[in-house]
Structure 1
């Protein structure tokens, strides 16, 4: 079984590792051994744990899961040359990664937290000769899409990478709305989760506009609620959220 080396042990690393643990051996590298122990406990599987100081990456397949601002300090503590470096650092371009960390190939990957359930939407770009290897690896955590440019993956980061936070806000707000009208909190949460579970399946089959039109009958309850969302600029705010997140990714690349 192939070994995947995680450098970093935060939420994203844990989510991806949950998706990969059945198909790969996992080793994790970090500064704090207590946090590495917590990583192992959260994963529910034995992993090899190593301190970051002078860690040798020679011929390893690396998943770099540190914060973009920590790239410089982490890179200085690595030695050797990796076989493949997959980076989940938002906005950090391939050329910068190659300058900081020695590797035969570099691929940028942008998964999301649904990786922990094997349901991430992961976008990839980078050294095309390693496209298949990167796709096979990340497909263990969900769906994958190879993009042809780093601009595209920065845009996709703003959509799929950040998207769970946007949808969580909407989910919480809808449940709060039901509670505000008198539904018990626990019932509102169950209804909301059922809504999202069903919607997730429907959106795979239908265009959003057609899905909306199939629910919204003239003068009905959905139309009344929908008009309120439009008055509140929910559509425009979602588009602006993607724009702001994309611009932040571009800022991180400089």
Structure 2
């Protein structure tokens, strides 16, 4: 069984490890033994634990899951040349990772929150010789898509990486609207969850415009509500959200 070495033990590292633990041995390098033990308990399987100071990554397959601001600091604590580094760091370029970590190869990845339920939409880019392996590795936590440039990955970060937060806002707002009109909170929440579950299946094969037209009959309830969304500039706000998040990804 192959070993995946995680550097960092935060929520994203744990989510990815949960998807990989059945088929890979998990090693985790962190700063604090107590946090490593907590990681192991939450993962539910025995892991190899290493403290970060002067730890070797020679020849290892590394999942790099630290905060972007800590790349330089962490790199100074590691020894050896990794076989490949898979980085989940937003806005951190292949060049910066290669310069600081000095691995044989680098693949940037951008999973999202849904990794914890094996439904992440993970985008990838980097050294082409690891494209197939990257699909296999990150495919354990959901869908994957290889992109041809780091710019495209940063745009995808704004869409899929940040997207769960945007959808959560919309989900909460729709449920609040139903409560405002007199629906009980628990009923509103359950109906909203059912809505998102079913819609998630439909959107896989049907264009959003076609789905919209299939629901919105002339002069009907959906048309009235849709008009309110347009009046509130929801479409423009969503487009602007992607632009702002993309710009921020480039700044990190």
Q: TM-score range by the shorter chain?
A: over 0.9
* Aligned position for 2:186: 186
Instruction: Quote how far apart the aligned CAs of 1:162 are.
Output: 0.6
Contact conserved, 1:58 with 1:79, CA < 8 A, in 2? yes
Deviation of residue 103 (structure 1)? 0.8
SS at match of 2:28: strand
**Partner residue in 1 for 2:249:** 249
Matched, 1:206 2:206: yes
1:1-254 equivalent positions in 2, closer than 5 A? 1-252=1-252
TM-score in terms of structure 2 length: 0.98
> What are the Cα deviations for residues 164-208 of structure 1, in whole angstroms up to 9, with x where unaligned?
111111111111111111211111111111111000000001000
CA-to-partner distance for each residue in 1:87-145, whole Å, 9 max, x for gaps?
Answer: 01101110110000021100000111111111111111001111111111111111111
Tell me, in whole angstroms, the C-alpha distance in 1 between the residues paired with 2:221 and 2:34: 53
Deviates more, 1:14-23 or 1:159-168: 14-23
Looking at structure 1, the residues matched to 175 and 46 of structure 2 have their Cα atoms a distance apart, in angstroms, of: 38
Unpaired runs of 5+ residues, structure 2, are: none
Structure 1 residue ranges, 4+ long, deviating more than 3 angstroms after superposition: none
After superposition, the CA RMSD in angstroms is 0.9
How many residues get paired?
A: 252
How far off is 1:53 after superposition? Answer: 0.8
Q: Distance in 2 between matches of 1:42 and 1:185?
A: 31
CA contact (8 A) 1:23 1:140 kept: no
- Whether the 8 Å contact between 1:17 and 1:116 is mirrored in structure 2 is no
Distance 1:119 1:210 in 2: 24
- Aligned partners of 1:221 and 1:229: how far apart in 2? 13
SS of equivalent to 1:4: strand
Q: Gaps (5+ residues) in structure 1? A: none
Q: Counterpart of 2:203 in 1: which secondary structure?
A: helix
How far residue 34 of structure 1 moved from its aligned partner, in angstroms, is 1.6
Q: Could you tell me the TM-score, scaled by structure 1's length?
A: 0.97
